[in-house]
Amino acid sequence: MADSAIDVRPIAGAIGAEVHGLDLRRELSAATIAAIRRAWLEHCVIFFRDQPLAPGELLGFAKRFGEIVEYPFIKGIDGFPEIIPVIKLEHEKTNFGGIWHSDTSYLDEPPMATMLIAREVPAKGGDTLFANTYLAYEALSEGMQRLLDGLIAVNSSRKADASRTREDRVKDMQRTDAKPEYVGEHPVVRTHPETGRKALYVNVAHTLRFKDMSEAESAPLLAYLIEQQTRPEFTCRFQWRVGSIAFWDNRCTQHNPVNDYHGYRRVMHRITLAGDRPQ
C-alpha cells in the first residue's frame, strides 16, 4: 500500500471510522497526514488499531495535526507533561470524565481535538460512546435553529456532575497552578472553522445555563438539547484493545466513557490539541 493511501472503514452510519493500513511508529508523509485529516473531518472521530506507540511517538504523531495543550487540572505522566493519564483503578467506582461531554468546553479556547491511546483495558466493558453534534443540529426544525442561533451558553468546570468524575485523579495528581473554576461563554450553535457546518455546542457536563438567563429558566431547553445530541442514531460505540487510538474532533462531537467495569483497571493516555474561540 502506498504511503499516502489509507483504508477507512466506517463503523456506524452517523459517526466514526477505523483507519487501517498504517504503522504510526513510521515517519508518515505529508500526503498521508492530509489523508488522515480528511478522514477525521469527514467522520468526526477516527480509530487506529494495534499501535504500540511509546509516549514520545504518540506525542510526535499528535503534533502532526496541531499544537499540544496541557489539561488544567491534572499533571502529565513522568517526562511528558502534555500527556495525562486517564485511569480508573480496581477499587474505584467513578471513571474519569464518565459523562457525555466535549472536552474542557469551559475554557475560552477549548481544544480542537483529543487523542487517546489504550494502555490497559478491562476484561470486559470500558467502551466509549461518541455522538455527532452536526447531525443533532441539522435534525432540528428551522424554528428551533433560528432560536438557538442567537444564544450563548455559560460553561463551568465546577458543575458537580462533571467535577465528581475527576476527584479520584485530582486527589493524587492535581496541578498546583489550577484555578478553582474556569468559565467559558460560547455560542450554543458553533460553526466549524474547517468544514463550515454548524453543530450544537452545549453539554450536560459543563453547560450551566444560557447567558442572561437563570439556571431554572435555561433548564427545560438545555435538557431537550442534551437529549437531542445523544439520540442513538447520532452515535457510535468503540470497543478498546491495548494499542487502540481514538482521535476525535471536539468541535462537532461529544463522548461518554461507559462506566461498566467495576473491579477492573483501565489506563489510557490522553493528548489535547489547541483550538480557537468558538464562533
Contacting residues for 106 by C-beta, under 8 A, at least 6 apart: 155, 156, 157, 182, 183, 184, 206
Distance, in Å, from the CA atom of 33 to the CA atom of 57, rounded to the nearest integer, reads: 15
Phi, psi of 263 (to 5 degrees): 90, -5
Given the residues 169, 209, 255, 266, the one annotated as active site: 255
Q: Say whether 20 is catalytic.
A: no
List the one residue out of 252, 120, 88, 104 whose CA is nearest residue 178.
Answer: 104
Q: Say whether 249 is catalytic.
A: no
Distance, in Å, from the CA atom of 108 to the CA atom of 112, rounded to the nearest integer, reads: 12
Given the residues 103, 166, 168, 169, the one annotated as active site: 103
Half-sphere exposure of 158 (CA within 13 A, CB side): 6
The β-bridge partners of 154 are 185, 209
Q: Say whether 255 is catalytic.
A: yes
Given the residues 43, 101, 190, 209, the one annotated as active site: 101
Contacting residues for 276 by C-beta, under 8 A, at least 6 apart: 109, 112, 193
Contact 17, 11 (CB under 8 A): yes
List the one residue out of 247, 267, 264 whose CA is nearest residue 48.
Answer: 247
Q: Say whether 270 is catalytic.
A: yes
One-letter amino acid of 70: E
The residues assigned a catalytic role are 101, 103, 255, 270
